[in-house]
Structure 1
């Protein structure tokens, strides 16, 4: 938990529903994401090293790969990196390949 009892921002390597519920998903800028992380802290649920590297670079903080079973809580926000195109099946991309493909950031909030 971060200050004030607020849940930390979860970090994902894709937009995925980790718990049953209703989610709101929209674009978020790097600056907006950085502000949320600074305010609430974060919990990495990133399962791919290259995504952890990209997010570390974007947010200016060390973010580790952390393959955990994460359960999104009601009201909790998550920031996900979404590739602009789907890579071939079985691909494991490096950071340079991800930069070449392109990506955006999404904020996912579990509503109920």
Structure 2
């Protein structure tokens, strides 16, 4: 899950931006005030659309981070539970404790 959302965060989105050639063709002969007003209005719409893309990307980052954190916690719990009986120390020459109650077989000397 973390991998899927992590990869989706890096997808290339269609961000809105001004195309320089279109601006030059449209506003080259316009007055400065009219040009700046039109450009400002255009940029407001672009910022609003880009803000939605950023919010979606932020949500995906949050899900990916939560999934990674959950994975680390679950892995740690799994390791702690798995090594529960492995940390017992036995002295050399002592028989290791076994879980079966079978009698020991004859051992060669």
TM-score category (smaller protein): under 0.3
Structure having the higher strand fraction is 1
Point out the structure with the larger helix share. 2
TM-score (norm 1): 0.19
**Which of the two has higher C-alpha Rg?**
2
